[in-house]
Amino acid sequence: MSLFVAEMRGNTLYHMRGVVQFADGSTFYDGDQTFTTQAVPAANLPVITVTTTPGTTPQSRVEVLQLVNTPASMAPLAVTDMNGNVLWSYNPKMPNYDPEPAKLLPNGHFLVNFATTTNAGVIVNSVLQEVDLTGKVIWQMTAADLNKALAAASCAGCNITIIGTHHDFVMLPNGQLLVLAGTTQDISGTTVIGDVIIELDQNHNPVWLWNEFDHLDTDRRPYLFPDWTHTNAILYSKDNGDIIISIRHQNWLVKIDYANGSGTEKILWHLGYQGDFTLVGGTDPTDWFYAQHGPSFTTSNTSGQFGLAVFDNGDDRFFPSGQVLCAGGSAGCYSTVPLLNIDETNMTATLTFHMTAPYYNFFGGNNAVLPNGDIEFCESAESL
């Protein structure tokens, strides 16, 4: 019997002993096996510094790092322990393709979407890969592959061309996959970039598609038009099978009546500035989130009354005096780390935590509540 063992440091001596427990209750112990793991060249790994506040204990876990703009020799995907030791890394050897995102599958493999973008963050191409912990590619789907599958699909709205998959995907309970992809439409002579959500069956064939051009107003253009929506996250609600998407360039989280593929596909609500909710515990419009990233559920329930975390980048924050564009790092720009209690009956969003982040972070970032109740957030593009 062969067993794959993960989460070990490089260039380290390990002892291991197999234990077999039989049905009759007897146990067999293998002999002591020793081996030294291979050293990984320093140029292939990120340099990580860890600081722990004296007297505190961080949540026990590993960190999955999705690194952008890495040199060709460095793995853009890495898993570390809480001391900053790299336990696993993967380099697809595709220069200028960044992982967005990487998620662990139930079978122990990683599903990673690698995308390449312009300097303005507009999607250019993509490769979706399932890789095992040895780095073997189990299957992959390029943007061209997905376009071929869309052309052959019979689902409503699937007769479109996508630029590439990007930012997020969700593995559904039935083993099917929701992926986020960019597409374009010509509007009054302007090529406008929006997004679609595509459901792929277990053979990676499109079976459902939701197109933002069919459900949102293209005349609403608060930020960086014609990159009109720049959707960057999908949340699946286990309570009712609906989905929530984060639309960065609309400053909204939007809930869709998906109902595990059998819903009306209508937008149920818009959360954010000029949306459907009343902000409680903060100042409207200033304390809403803007150009946000990384939403996550903070409670076990995901509909009705539930919690949401989001990283508020703040690029185009609105103040009572009007909009301030902060993408260039203007004076007075700041990012925040809000936690919100959502009440879908009374249509209120109550701020329960709202820390100003140490740096203004014009793109990227995440925010989540850990199992021990601590809040972890990351900033990926610091601007003082």
User: Mind listing the pLDDT tens digit for each residue in 226-241?
Assistant: 999 999 999 999 999 9
Query: Is residue 213 pLDDT above 60, yes or no?
Result: yes
Percentage of the chain lying above the pLDDT 70 cut: 98
CB-CB neighbours of 372 under 10 Å: 10
Cis peptide before 358 (omega within 30 of 0): no
pLDDT 10s digits, 263-284: 999 999 999 999 999 999 999 9
pLDDT at 328: 57
Q: What is the mean pLDDT of residues 294-307?
A: 97
Query: Is residue 202 pLDDT above 90, yes or no?
Result: yes
Query: Is residue 4 pLDDT above 90, yes or no?
Result: no
pLDDT 10s digits, 12-55: 999 999 999 999 999 999 999 999 998 888 888 888 999 999 99
pLDDT at 78: 93
Spatial distance between the Cα atoms of 20 and 377, rounded to a whole number of angstroms: 42
pLDDT at 49: 92
Residue of 256, 255, 188 whose CA lies nearest to 225? 188
pLDDT at 332: 76
Residue of 225, 226, 223, 156 whose CA lies nearest to 196? 156
pLDDT at 115: 95
Spatial distance between the Cα atoms of 298 and 378, rounded to a whole number of angstroms: 16
Residue 6: pLDDT band (50, 70, 90) is confident
Nearest 5°: phi and psi at 246?
-100, 115
pLDDT at 120: 79
Strand bridging mode 348-356 / 278-280: parallel
Strand bridging mode 77-80 / 86-90: antiparallel
The b/e string for 183-222 (b: 16+ C-beta within 10 A; e otherwise) is bbbeeeeeebbbbbbbbbeeebbbebbbbbbeebebeeeb
Structure token pair of residue 104: 């662990």
Cα-based torsion angle of the residue sequence 262, 168, 102, 118 in order, rounded to the nearest 10 degrees: 150
Structure token pair of residue 233: 């996250």
Contact 116, 127 (CB under 8 A): no
Mean per-residue pLDDT of the chain = 94
Structure token pair of residue 215: 């459900």
Query: Is residue 220 pLDDT above 90, yes or no?
Result: yes
Query: Is residue 329 pLDDT above 60, yes or no?
Result: no
pLDDT at 275: 98
Q: What is the mean pLDDT of residues 67-72?
A: 90
Residue of 174, 344, 181 whose CA lies nearest to 261? 174
Query: Is residue 2 pLDDT above 90, yes or no?
Result: no
pLDDT at 372: 93
